[in-house]
């Protein structure tokens, strides 16, 4: 079982999620050039500080924003210099990041999701669920795509998804010796025993912001779960899920492909006429 993340690790994730969320908005309003991946939190905070008059002509809003910017800069400096941090620091940083994201005009619904996700990190669930280790498995792990159909209450991930494709995929994966992971469009790469809430979020309709945040979450989760790193990942899910994993784990030189029995699973649910 994975140990709970330290306050410093949580603060690092808060800063990374802040950067992933804020970068598209900063590009949209012309504070940064729209040139690829998110920038680091320090650069973003400095950019906001330099453009405070333009962003917040209202004196009261500007004062509020500057408070949040300075708070995040302070906690970022502590984190960067390995100064002692507490769980209170991590929770305060998550709340401050959410408030600042809202003030710079990020989508309010997405900001709420980011804040909720960070709070789940603080209790070592959801975005950092307990996942099995890939150690000693011969180098292959199996990932099952989530399903639209779910229970109406919180449950273990292996039980929450009730769609026929998911259940058929689980039957196939359970017959093998490889560790099983579930790829969720809300929670990322999670273990079967992670307790998660039901949700409505389709991979096909994710905004660029949400997809970027999901990719970052998957990348972070894989770094902790895959020790040592597997040589291959087999996906029981459509090509969109294969593509998502390839994008998230592109730096890891992993062979990511459809599971050899995926077509069998698909045709069991959607038989040819």
- Total domains in the chain come to 2
Can you give the CATH number for the domain in which 176 is found? 3.40.50
Domain coverage including residue 224: 140-269
Report if residue 66 sits inside a domain.
yes
Does residue 265 sit in the same domain as residue 144? yes
Report if residue 2 sits inside a domain.
no
Does residue 111 sit in the same domain as residue 161? no
Taken as a whole, the chain contains a residue count of 273
* 59-67, Cβ contacts within 8 angstroms, sequence gap of 24 or more: 61/103, 64/99, 64/103, 65/100, 65/103, 65/104
Q: What is the pLDDT along the chain (273 residues), one digit of tens a residue?
A: 334 567 788 888 888 888 888 888 888 888 887 655 567 899 899 999 999 999 999 999 999 999 999 999 999 999 999 888 877 788 788 888 888 998 998 876 656 666 666 656 554 433 344 344 444 344 889 999 999 999 998 888 999 999 999 999 999 999 988 899 999 998 899 888 888 888 888 998 888 878 888 888 888 888 878 877 888 999 999 999 999 999 999 887 889 999 999 999 999 888 876
Does residue 173 sit in the same domain as residue 227? yes
Q: Residue 92 and residue 132: Cα distance in Å, rounded?
A: 30
Sign of the CA dihedral running 244, 169, 204, 154: negative
Residues 6+ apart with CB under 8 A from 6: none
Q: Which of 122, 154, 174 is the last residue of a domain?
A: 122
Does residue 106 sit in the same domain as residue 214? no
Entry pTM: 0.56
Report if residue 129 sits inside a domain.
no
**CB count, 10 Å around CB of 123?**
10
Report if residue 183 sits inside a domain.
yes
Report if residue 264 sits inside a domain.
yes
Does residue 80 sit in the same domain as residue 145? no
Report if residue 111 sits inside a domain.
yes
């Amino acid at each position: 079982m994975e140990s709970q993340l330290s306050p410093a690790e949580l603060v690092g994730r808060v800063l990374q999620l802040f950067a992933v969320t804020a970068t598209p908005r900063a590009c949209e309003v012309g504070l940064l050039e729209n040139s690829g991946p998110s920038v680091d939190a320090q650069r973003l905070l400095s950019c906001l500080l330099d453009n405070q008059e333009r962003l917040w002509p209202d004196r009261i809003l500007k004062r509020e924003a500057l408070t949040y910017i300075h708070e995040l800069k302070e906690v970022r400096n502590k984190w960067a210099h390995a100064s002692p941090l507490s769980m209170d620091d991590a929770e305060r940083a998550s709340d401050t990041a959410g408030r600042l994201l809202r003030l710079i005009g990020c989508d309010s619904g997405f900001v709420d999701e980011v804040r909720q996700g960070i709070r789940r990190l603080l209790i070592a669930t959801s975005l950092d669920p307990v996942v099995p280790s890939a150690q000693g498995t011969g180098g292959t792990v199996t990932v099952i795509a989530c399903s639209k159909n779910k229970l109406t209450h919180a449950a273990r991930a292996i039980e929450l998804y009730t769609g026929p494709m998911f259940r058929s995929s689980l039957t196939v994966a359970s017959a093998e010796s490889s560790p099983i992971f579930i790829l969720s469009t809300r929670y990322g790469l999670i273990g079967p025993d992670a307790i998660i809430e039901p949700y409505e979020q389709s991979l096909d309709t994710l905004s660029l912001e949400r997809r970027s945040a999901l990719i970052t979450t998957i990348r972070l989760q894989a770094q902790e779960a895959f020790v040592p790193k597997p040589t291959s990942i087999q996906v029981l899910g459509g090509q969109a899920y294969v593509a998502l994993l390839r994008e998230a784990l592109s730096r890891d030189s992993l062979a990511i492909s459809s599971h050899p029995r995926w077509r069998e699973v698909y045709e069991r649910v959607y038989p040819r006429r």
